[in-house]
Structure 1
């Protein structure tokens, strides 16, 4: 727990979940914030939709990556891994990562 309640003196966190496909963090999605979680528990009813091309024969996700001024593109093949991260939302400093699962 990152913060302390002014009223009760108990530890608490304002938590949210961030999710992305491994290798594609720039396309991450996140939930709303579960405010004042006293025991680290939060309930989220959230749908996240990720678009990707999947090669079933190779069991990989294929995405095109464009780099440079000349728009050189290349195909990247990565294993299908969903990354879930739990974060503590902070108002006046950087958010703190509380946990991660791949």
Structure 2
């Protein structure tokens, strides 16, 4: 995935309705600056208590609570969904749900 982001147009990542990657190659290259920044990022993640998850928010939060993995100073970021279930064949329809 990281390589797709590095080399994709404007560093974007997008998939079509057939779950195929559909961003053209950009003008970027994996240069020395990107390599240095990637190494810094990896080093920071390895030396801190950081974890990533791709589960649904309810499952994720219930797991944290049930297994007593939450601490007072923890920071949790949940990326909210932006679109509803009616997304079909690459046509994006925004929800009428108000955002917080």
Normalising by the smaller structure, the TM-score range is under 0.3
Name whichever structure is richer in strand by fraction.
1
Larger RCO (CA under 8 A, 6+ residues apart): 1
TM-score (norm 2): 0.24
